[in-house]
Amino acid sequence: MDKIVIRGGRPLHGQVAVSGAKNAALPLMAATLLAPGEHVLHNVPDLRDTRTMLKVLETLGARWQWERRSVRIDTSTLTGAEAPYDLVKTMRASVLVLGPLLARSGHARVSLPGGCAIGLRPITLHLKGFEQLGATTGITEGYVEATAGGRLQGGTVYFDTPSVTGTENVLMAAVVARGTTIIKNAAREPEIGNLIDMLTAMGAEIEGRDSDRLVIHGVDSLRPAETRIIPDRIEAGTWLIAVAATGGEVTVTDCIPGHLPALTEKLRSAGVDIEEGESTITVRFPPGNGVRERRLRSVDIRTMPYPGFPTDLQAQFMALMIQADGVSIIHETIFENRFMHVAELQRLGADISIDGSSAVVKGCHGYQLCGAPVMATDLRASASLVIAGLAASGVTEITRIYHLERGYERMVEKLQGLGADIMKVPA
C-alpha cells in the first residue's frame, strides 16, 4: 500500500498534457467483442481500470498487446461469456461487456458490478433496454444474465433518467439487431460520441450523434476498427480546478475545451481567468499579480447530465469553494452517496455541512486549510483531497490512493512537473 504526501502552499506553473479518457476507453474496449478480428485503440490511458478491462476481455478469450499509447485487441475467438466477480467487483464499468456479448454470442453472464461506493447505479436500466430488444434477463446468485433466443430485434428503448453506461450497453447490443432501434432520452456525454465513432468505423449505422435520440439501423455483421480515444475531460477539469485552488498559471494541453462548458463558465464566475485554444486551456489565478489580489468568489453548482456540470468534478469543485469568499451550495443530483469526501475535507479545516443532497460550503478566505492525514473514499474524492492538500499549509497524507490510480494516469508525476511538492511513498 502506498500513500501520497503533499507539502502544500505552492502555486502551480507550466504545462500539463491530458491523457486519454478512461470513461471512453472502457466502452471502446468492450465494443471490440462485437466483431472478430484485431482492433487497435490509440491514446489509451494506462490505469488500473483499463488494465482490469483487458483482464475481463482476456477471461472471455480475447488476446491483447500494449504498444506505447496503443492497445491491439484480438477478439477472433471467444471462449466464454462470463465476467467473474473477482474482476468485476473492482470496476463497475465491467458491466459494459453485457451488450456486446449478448449481441455476438446470444448469452452473457456478468457479476453485479463493484467500484466506487458513491451510490446506486441501477443495472435495471440496462436490462430493461435488452428486454426491449427481445432478450430475457435476470439476476441470480449475484450475476446478471441476458439471453437472446436468436438474433436481437430492434425496438424502442426509453430511459427515465439518462444513463451513460445504459446508453452504451444498449447501443452496442442494437447495432447488430434485426431492424431499427430507437433510444430515447439517451445520455449525450462526449464518451458516447467516441463510441459511436468506433461503431460507425466498424460498419454500424447510427443517427443522432450528440443528441438524446439515437436511431440505430441494425446490420448483419461488423468488422474490426482502429479508433483514437478522446482526451479525458475530467482530468482536464481537475487540472483547471487545482490551479484555481492553489494559484498560478498552467496551460492544459491535448484537451477538447468544448467538452467542459459548465466548468469553465463556473470558474469564470468565481473570478478565474480561462483562455481556450483549439486543443488547450490556460487557467490563471489570481488574475493580477500577487497573492493579496486573490479574491475567489463563491458560486453554486448543480450536477447534471452532460452538458451540465459533471458529477465527476463535484468533489474537486467543493475543494475549490473551500478557498472562496462567501457561501456556496453544491447540489448533487446524480449519486446519493457522493459527499463521502466531506468528512475528510473537514479534517483539513473545511467548514461544510450536508443537508440531504446538498452541501453548504463556507469559504475560508482569510485563513488557510491545514494539512492532516486523510483517507480517500472513491476516485473523485481522492482528487478533491489532492487539491485541498495542495492548497493547505503543512503536510497532508492521503491513504487508499488505489482509488486515484483507477482514473488518473501519472497524477503525482504530472503535478511534480507543475512545481507541486508531492510524493508517492510506501504507507
Active site residues: 116
From 15, 21, 11, 13, select the one nearest 280 (Cα to Cα).
15
Binding residues for phosphoenolpyruvate: 22-23
Q: Which residue, chain included where needed, has cell 506505447? A: 68
Structural contact between residues 356 and 369, judged by C-beta atoms closer than 8 angstroms = no
Taking the C-alpha atoms of residue 107 and residue 33, their distance in angstroms, rounded to an integer, is 13
Q: Which residue, chain included where needed, has cell 465476467? A: 83
From 81, 147, 79, 138, select the one nearest 112 (Cα to Cα).
138
Binding residues: 22-23, 92, 312, 334
350 Cβ partners below 8 Å, 6+ apart? 322, 342, 361, 364, 369, 388
- Residue 275 C-alpha cell reads as 483562455
Q: How far is CA 202 from CA 24, 214, 365, in A?
A: 16, 17, 53
Taking the C-alpha atoms of residue 46 and residue 51, their distance in angstroms, rounded to an integer, is 7
Structural contact between residues 281 and 236, judged by C-beta atoms closer than 8 angstroms = yes
Taking the C-alpha atoms of residue 275 and residue 196, their distance in angstroms, rounded to an integer, is 30
Q: Which residue, chain included where needed, has cell 456556496? A: 328
Tell me the residue type at 64: W
Q: Which long-range contacts (CB under 8 A, 24 or more apart) does 166-170 make?
A: 166/125, 166/126, 166/129, 167/192, 167/214, 168/27, 168/30, 168/96, 168/99, 168/192, 168/195, 169/95, 169/96, 169/98, 169/99, 169/126, 169/129, 169/130, 170/99, 170/126, 170/129, 170/130, 170/133
